[in-house]
Structure 1
Amino acid sequence: MSSINIKRAVENIRSGTTVYTPVIELIVNAIQAIRVTKPIGGQVTVTILRDGQVDLIERIASVDGFTVEDDGVGFDKDHRDSFDTLYSGMKAGQGGKGFGRFTCLKYFERFDVESVFRDGDGLQARSFEMGMRTDIIINEQISNTESTSTGSKITISGLKSVKFSDKSLDVIARVLVERLLPYFIDPKSECPRIVIGEEKGGVPIVLNDYLTQENRQIVELEVGEPEIVIAANDETETFSVRVFKFYAPRMSKSKIALVAHRREVTDVAIQTYIPEFADEFYDSGESDGARGDRNYVIKAYVFGDYLDRNVSLERGAFNFQRETDIFYGISQTQIEARAAEVAREAMGPEILIRKERKAARIEDYIATQAPWHRALSREIDFASLPMKPTPQDIELHLQTAKFTREMETRAQVQQILSSDDPNTLHQQVADVVASISQTSKNDLIHYVSMRKCVLDLFGKALETDDDGKYQSEGDVHDIIMPRRRDSDALDYEQHNLWILDERLNFADYVASDIPIDGARTDRSDISIFNRRIAFRGDNVPSNPITIFEFKKPQRHDFANPSSDDDPVQQIIRYVNQFRDGKFRTPKGRDILVSDNTTFYGYVVCDLPRKVSDWLHREKQFTIMPDGLGYFQWFPNIRLYMEVLSWTKVLADAEMRNKIFFHKLGI
C-alpha cells in the first residue's frame, strides 16, 4: 500500500502545465494501453462533460471534465501496481515519468477509473479512485464482468478554480490535434482512431480526419533539410523538424513546438526569430465550384533525443535554460532559432515576398523622410524589424545602429591612442578616419534635409491664409527662433537664424524677446517682430555687433510720418545704447564697445511702393542691384544698415542651400 503526501505532490507541480495537460495525459496513456495488445487499430473515445449551466451569451455550458475510454490492455495487476507507484518506471522506455496522473488532480477534483482486464483465461473488472491524502488508489473494487473485451474508462471531473477557457467541441478538438500531432505523424507507430464528442450526443469529431480527409485542415510541407545539428560542450546533438500548415487556425500566430516523447512541451511564435511570420498566410483554392482563400499558419515540430532526455517531470518545460546554457550546452533559444530557419525555407516564396515588402517600406522611409541614413542603411541588417515596420521602428533601428557604430569608433580611437605598435598604426588610423567621415556625412545629410523642411515652412508662413490674411508675427518669429529664449538655453541646431546669416549659428550670444539687462536699459528686450535680435562673437571691442529688426509681412505703417515704430531709428538708438554701455553680457559683465567697434543693422520687412519711397527719399538709402533691398553707411557711429525684403531673405537662404538640396535629390 502506498503512503505519500499526494496533496503536497500536486501543489509542487511547477508551472508549464495547462488545463489541457490532464486530457493529453489520459489520451496518451490510452494510446499506450492499446498498443500493448494491438500493433494497429484500436480506438480512443473522449467525451466532454459539462457543468449544466448554459452561458446566456455563448449558449453552451462550461466544461467540467472528460472521460477517456480505450480498448487497450486495461488495469491488470502490473498496470494497477504501476499506477499505485510514485515515479513508476513501467513506461520509462516510452518516456513515461510515472507522475503524469498527478497533473489531473491539479486541475480536477475527482479521478475515477473503471477497467476490464485479463486475469488468466478470463476477464475481470476493476474500479477505483485516485486519492488526495496518502494513498494513490482508494475505494478499489474487483468483480466479475460480462464484458467480452479489455479496456478502460477514466473520468476526471469537478474542474477546480482554473477555468477551461474553450467551450465548443470543434475548438477543443483542434487544440487536441495540435498537441497530439506527433502521434498522428509518427512513422514508426500507427495512431489509434481518436474520437471526441459530447456527453449528450451530437456529431462527434474524428481527430485523425484532420490529416486524412480530402479537404484536410493540416498539411505537411516538404523541407529540404529537416535535420539540424547543434554543437555544444564538445558534443553534437541532432534534431529533426517537421513543418505543417494549419488551415482555419485556432491560433493566430505561426509557432515552433518542442516535442519530447511525442508530446508537445513548449511552443513559441516563429516571429520571435523571423518577423515575416507575424501574420497569417493565405492559399487560393476552389470550394464547391467557387474561388476562395484559405487562411493558415505554420507550426514546426522539433524532435530529438536531447529533448527526450531533458524534459521536466510535468512535461511543461525542459531542464535546460531558455537562453545560453553552460551546464547542458544547448539552450531552448538555440533550438528554436534553427527550427525557425527550417520553417523559413519551407515557406520560401511567401517569406521572400514579405521581406521584399518590408525592404520597400524601409527604402521609402529613407528616401522620403530620412535620406541622411542612406549610406548607413546599406550596411546594417533589418531582419529583426517587424514585418510592417512603422517609421518609428525604422528610425529607432537606424539610430541604434548609428550609436553602436559611434561607440565602436570611439573604442578604436582609444585603442590607437594607447597602442605602441607603429606598424599597424597607419592602417588603423585610415580605417577609423573613414568610419568617422561616414558618420559625419550622415549627420550632415540629416542637417541639410532639416533645413529644406524649415525653408518650406518659412515660405508657407509668408503666404496668406484662406481669408487672404498673413500669418501672425508669432508664427514666423518661432520658425526663425523661439520667443523668450536665448542662446544660453538653445543649441545652435534648435534655432534657424541661418536663414538670415550663417554666422548667427556661432554667435556668442543671441536673445529673443527677453531682456539682456533690465536694470540698466530703458528697453533691453531684444527679440523678433517689433523687437530686436543682437549677436556678436567673443566679447572683445574689435568684434562687430549685429542687430536685427523684423516687421510683419506686408506691414508698412512704420513709414508714416507720425510713426514711433521707425525701424531705422530703432536700430540707431540701440547702437547708441550699446556705445553708451547700457547692455551687459548674460553673466553680468559690461559688453565691451570701443570707438572702432562696427555695427551691422538689418531691417527685414516687405517693400511695397510706400516703404520703398520712404527709404529712398526720406532715409537716403541706396537700392540694391536686385531691387529687393536697400543699404546705407552711417560713418559717425560706424553702422552699416540694410533693409531686406522677406522675399530676398527666403530666396537668398534657398540659394545658399540649393547645391546641398540638389545633391540630396530633395
Structure 2
Amino acid sequence: MDLPVQNIVSEIDLKPSDALLPLFETIVNAIISLKQTKDMMRQDRMITIQIYRGESSSVLNFSGNKTISSIKVIDNGEGFTDENLKSYRTAYTHKNKKDFGCKGIGRFTILAAFNEIRITSNYKQKNKWRFRELMLDPINEVTVLKEQDSDEPMRQTTVQLAGCHNQSIKDYTALSINEIAESIMEHCLIYFLCNDLPIIKIIEIESEESTIVNDLYQQVSKERERQFSIGKNIFDCYIIKTAKVHNRKNHYIHYCANSRVVGIGKNISKVNSIFSYPIIDNGRPYYLDVYVVSEYLNKKVYNSRNGFSIPQENENGFLNNDGLISFDQIEENIAKLLVSEYDEFVKATQDRNIKELKNYIQINAPRYRRFLNREDFLNSIPPNLPDDKKEEALYKIAFNEKRKIDQKIQGFIDKSEINKDSIEIIKNELIEKAAYDSDSLSEYMIQRKAIIDLFKRFLEADQHGKYRLEEDIHNLIFPRGVTGREINYESHNLWLLDERFATYTFIASDMPITAFSENKSRKEPDLLLADSPPMFNNPICFAPELSGEISSMVIFEFKRPGEIAHQKNKSDYRWEYSHLIEKYFDEFLYGDNKKNYRGSHVMVRKETPKFGFVIVDAIPERLEAYNEGKGYRKTPFGSFYKIYPELNLHIEVLRFYQLIEAVEKRHTPFFDKLFAV
C-alpha cells in the first residue's frame, strides 16, 4: 500500500455505538459491487451474512446473546477484478467516490475492530473466470495468497472479518439476529428508497437461525419526500412511517452521507416535544423516521463515517458568516416541516397537552389559574411531562412574566412621564402584577389546607384503634424544644390556634422554664408565647419597654387524643381544668428568681394579661359538671372558660374538634375561592 495501514488504523476511534459499523461498511461495499455488475437482474442480487459468535459480553446483557467473533459477507457481485484489487491496495482511492460516495477507507474501519480481513473471490475478467484469495491486516497489509483460473462459472465473493479484538465495541455486538437485521435495515434504508437494495439474508451459524432483512421493509411506509434549504445548501428529507412494534417509543431523525446512515438516530421529541407521541393512522400507532440527505452532509462526514464535522449550536451568529451550518438550524427546519406535514397530529397533541395542563392547574396548582385562559403560555410547555416538570414550567413562565411586568413598572417610574395614557398603561400593569403577587398568597393557603387536613388525620384513630401521640400534635403546631428565635414564621403553624399568636415575638415550645429564664423550675409548658416583651434577651423577645415587663403571656397545654385529660384516677372527675396549666403561670408570678441568663429582670405581674388554653379530646359529663360548679362557663360553641380577675388570667378549655372547626371556618372563604372550578 502507498500508506502504512497500521498508521491509518490507529487513528480510527470507534465508540460502543459503532459496534456494527464494520459490518455496515462490508455490506455497503457488497451493494456497490452488485450495482457495478451490469449483466445481472436486480432481483438476482444477493448478500448473505454469516454470524459467528464468541464469548459472553462483560457488559450486563439480559438477552444472553454472545458477542460476535467473526463475520462472513457473501455476495454475487462483480468481485475482485484487477481494477478493484488495484483500488483496494490504495488508501483513499477515488475510484468509487463520484458515483457511490466511497472514501476508500472502509477497510481500515474494519481493521480497527477485527484482526484481519480474509477475501475469496470468483469473478469474470475479460470473458474468463478467475479465482483470487487475499488477506489484509495492519502489519502485512494486502497479501495475495492465490490467483488462478476457475472452473466455477459463477460470481461469488466472500469477505470474512476475523477475530474481533476491539473491546470498546466487542461487548456491544452481543445483539440478537433481529436486532442486527433492524440495524442493517436502518443503515441501508436509502438504498431501499432508491430501489437499489439487494436481497440481504442473515444466518446465525451456531443456532442456524436466519432472517431476511428485506422483510422488515414491509413494515415501512414511504410516507413523503420533502426538501428545504439553508443558504445555498439543499436538504432532502425522506419521511418514513413505521408501525409501532416492540418497545419503540420515539420518532427519529437519521443523518445520511454517501447513501449511508451516519451515527445513531436523534429523538425528534428533543427537537420539538410535540412529537412525543406516536402518530395515529386508521386507529394504529406509527412512528416517523426522517432520513436527511444533502451534499453538505456528504462533505462534512468524518472519514470513519461515524459522525460529522458540524457543530450542534450556532454560537454568536458566526456560522452563517462563514457559510457554516449547525445541527440546530437543520433540526429547526425539520421540525417546521413536520409540523406543517402533520398539522392534524400537532393540533391533537397540543389540545391533549393543554387539557392535561389545565387539569393539573385546577387540581394541584390553583395558584396558576390565571393561565387557564392563556393557551399561548400553555402551548409553550412541552407535552407528556411529569407533574414536577409541569410545575417547573409553570413557575418559570410566571417568574418571567412577573419580571417583565416589574421592569415595565420600573421603566415607567424612571421616565416620570405622567399623562392620561401612561396612567392607564401603568394601571393595567399593576393589575397584572397583583395577579402574579397573589401567587405567593395562594401557595401559602394551599399549604395551610394541607396542614389542616393533616391535623384532622392526626386526631383520628388508626386501623388498630391507636391515636397519635401528644408530641405529634405538638410538633405539627410548633416544633418541640425550640424557641421562636430558632425558626421563622413559615416554619410553625400557630395559626391553627389563632392568627394573632403568629405575631408574638417570643415563643417557647415544650422547654423547661429554666431554659429561657433563671427560674429554676423544670416545668415544661407545651407552648408559651409573649407579646412584645423585653423580657428575655437570651433570646426571647424585644420591646420598647426597658423595665423587663411583658405585655401579655399565652400558654397552651395539649393532651393526647383519645384520652381524658390529666386523668390519673379514671373514676375520679373531681379536678379543675386549671390544674393543667395554672402551675406554669405560678412559676412566673411567684418564682424566687425571675431573671434571664444575662441578669435582666423578668416582670410578670398580676396585672399582666395572661391567657391559658387547654386542648383536650374528651370531656366526660361528670368532669364538665364538676368544673361548672367551680365557676367554669360554657360558651355557645361548646368550649369552657373561667376568668380569674385578681390575676388577670383567662383560661379556656376546648376540644380538638372545636379547634379544627374554628380553623376551617376561618379558611372556608379562601378555600372556596381558591379551589372553585
Instruction: Name the TM-score class by shorter chain.
Output: 0.7 to 0.9
2:86 to 77, 81, 84: 81
1:585-612: CA deviations, max 9, x gaps?
9x88655667865333433345543444
1:577-635: CA deviations, max 9, x gaps?
59x982649x88655667865333433345543444344332x344434443324252x
Q: Matches of 1:237 and 1:103 in 2, distance apart?
A: 29
* 2:433 is the counterpart of 1:436: yes
Q: Matches of 1:627 and 1:59 in 2, distance apart?
A: 73
Give the 3 Å change call, closer, same or farther, for CA 256–583 of structure 1 in structure 2.
farther
For 2:193, the equivalent position in structure 1 comes to 185
Q: Matches of 1:456 and 1:59 in 2, distance apart?
A: 52
1:34-86: CA deviations, max 9, x gaps?
3234296151322314258899x989875333333334333334322222222
Q: Matches of 1:397 and 1:577 in 2, distance apart?
A: 59
AA aligned to 1:539 is A
SS at match of 2:521: coil
Give the C-alpha shift of residue 341 in structure 1. 5.4
* Greater CA drift, 166-175 or 485-494: 166-175
Give the C-alpha shift of residue 110 in structure 1. 1.7
* 2:521 is the counterpart of 1:511: no
For 2:179, the equivalent position in structure 1 comes to 171
Contact persistence 2:638–2:654 (CA under 8 A): no
For 1:550, the equivalent position in structure 2 comes to 557
Contact persistence 1:27–1:44 (CA under 8 A): no
For 1:582, the equivalent position in structure 2 comes to 594
Contact persistence 1:526–1:533 (CA under 8 A): no
Give the 3 Å change call, closer, same or farther, for CA 282–555 of structure 1 in structure 2.
same
1:101-180 mapped onto 2 (5 Å cutoff):
101-117=107-123, 119-120=125-126, 122-133=128-139, 136-139=141-144, 141-148=146-153, 152-160=157-165, 161=167, 162-163=170-171, 165-166=173-174, 168-180=176-188
For 2:303, the equivalent position in structure 1 comes to 313
AA aligned to 1:629 is F
Q: Matches of 1:247 and 1:436 in 2, distance apart?
A: 48
Give the C-alpha shift of residue 101 in structure 1. 1.5
AA aligned to 1:452 is K
2:261 to 255, 261, 264: 264
* 2:6 is the counterpart of 1:7: yes
Give the C-alpha shift of residue 102 in structure 1. 0.7
For 2:537, the equivalent position in structure 1 comes to none
Give the C-alpha shift of residue 263 in structure 1. 0.7
Give the C-alpha shift of residue 261 in structure 1. 1.8
AA aligned to 2:668 is K
For 1:335, the equivalent position in structure 2 comes to 330
Give the 3 Å change call, closer, same or farther, for CA 339–241 of structure 1 in structure 2.
farther
Q: Which runs of 5+ in 1 are unaligned?
A: 286-293
SS at match of 1:438: helix
Aligned residues: 636
2:582 to 565, 569, 575: 569
For 1:656, the equivalent position in structure 2 comes to 666
Q: Matches of 2:428 and 2:306 in 1, distance apart?
A: 51
Q: Matches of 2:111 and 2:329 in 1, distance apart?
A: 34
Q: Matches of 1:354 and 1:372 in 2, distance apart?
A: 25
1:510-553: CA deviations, max 9, x gaps?
1111246435113376542xxx4213135245873231232425
Q: Matches of 1:200 and 1:569 in 2, distance apart?
A: 90
* Greater CA drift, 453-462 or 85-94: 453-462
SS at match of 2:173: coil
Q: Matches of 2:636 and 2:474 in 1, distance apart?
A: 28
For 2:536, the equivalent position in structure 1 comes to none
Q: Matches of 1:190 and 1:576 in 2, distance apart?
A: 102
Q: Matches of 1:496 and 1:58 in 2, distance apart?
A: 55
1:550-569: CA deviations, max 9, x gaps?
24255345795577971463
1:241-390 mapped onto 2 (5 Å cutoff):
241-246=238-243, 248-249=245-246, 253-266=250-263, 267-275=265-273, 297-324=287-314, 326-327=318-319, 329-340=324-335, 342=337, 358-376=353-371, 379=374, 380-381=377-378, 385=382, 387=384, 389-390=385-386
Q: Matches of 1:494 and 1:46 in 2, distance apart?
A: 72
Contact persistence 2:513–2:522 (CA under 8 A): yes
For 1:395, the equivalent position in structure 2 comes to 391
Give the C-alpha shift of residue 369 in structure 1. 2.9
Give the C-alpha shift of residue 496 in structure 1. 1.4
SS at match of 2:111: helix
SS at match of 2:18: coil
Q: Matches of 2:340 and 2:236 in 1, distance apart?
A: 16
1:70-117: CA deviations, max 9, x gaps?
343333343222222221122221322121121111111121233355
For 2:521, the equivalent position in structure 1 comes to 523
- Identity value in percent: 22
For 2:535, the equivalent position in structure 1 comes to none
Give the 3 Å change call, closer, same or farther, for CA 78–350 of structure 1 in structure 2.
same
Q: Matches of 1:324 and 1:525 in 2, distance apart?
A: 71
Give the 3 Å change call, closer, same or farther, for CA 71–412 of structure 1 in structure 2.
same
2:104 to 98, 115, 119: 98
AA aligned to 1:659 is P
Q: Matches of 1:536 and 1:401 in 2, distance apart?
A: 41
Give the 3 Å change call, closer, same or farther, for CA 377–176 of structure 1 in structure 2.
same
For 2:48, the equivalent position in structure 1 comes to 46
Q: Matches of 1:87 and 1:421 in 2, distance apart?
A: 72
AA aligned to 1:8 is N
Q: Matches of 2:221 and 2:23 in 1, distance apart?
A: 24
Q: Matches of 1:458 and 1:391 in 2, distance apart?
A: 26
SS at match of 1:69: strand
* 2:202 is the counterpart of 1:196: yes
TM-score by length of 2: 0.80
Give the C-alpha shift of residue 279 in structure 1. 6.8
For 2:237, the equivalent position in structure 1 comes to 240
For 1:665, the equivalent position in structure 2 comes to 675
For 1:603, the equivalent position in structure 2 comes to 614
SS at match of 2:443: helix
Give the 3 Å change call, closer, same or farther, for CA 612–119 of structure 1 in structure 2.
closer
1:452 to 426, 449, 463: 449
Contact persistence 1:464–1:470 (CA under 8 A): yes
Contact persistence 1:632–1:641 (CA under 8 A): yes
AA aligned to 1:602 is F
Q: Matches of 2:301 and 2:156 in 1, distance apart?
A: 29
Give the 3 Å change call, closer, same or farther, for CA 572–165 of structure 1 in structure 2.
same
Q: Matches of 2:575 and 2:624 in 1, distance apart?
A: 17
Q: Matches of 2:329 and 2:349 in 1, distance apart?
A: 24
Q: Matches of 1:642 and 1:540 in 2, distance apart?
A: 30
Give the 3 Å change call, closer, same or farther, for CA 571–382 of structure 1 in structure 2.
farther
Q: Matches of 1:624 and 1:238 in 2, distance apart?
A: 83
For 1:289, the equivalent position in structure 2 comes to none
SS at match of 1:566: helix
Give the 3 Å change call, closer, same or farther, for CA 375–32 of structure 1 in structure 2.
same
Q: Matches of 2:445 and 2:145 in 1, distance apart?
A: 86
Q: Matches of 1:139 and 1:425 in 2, distance apart?
A: 89
Contact persistence 1:241–1:342 (CA under 8 A): no
RMSD: 4.0
For 1:534, the equivalent position in structure 2 comes to 529
AA aligned to 2:543 is N
Give the C-alpha shift of residue 484 in structure 1. 1.5
SS at match of 2:36: helix
AA aligned to 1:613 is A
AA aligned to 1:219 is S
1:394-440: CA deviations, max 9, x gaps?
33333444444555566666666766777897577556534532232
Q: Matches of 1:60 and 1:431 in 2, distance apart?
A: 67
Contact persistence 1:300–1:343 (CA under 8 A): no
SS at match of 1:458: helix
For 1:291, the equivalent position in structure 2 comes to none
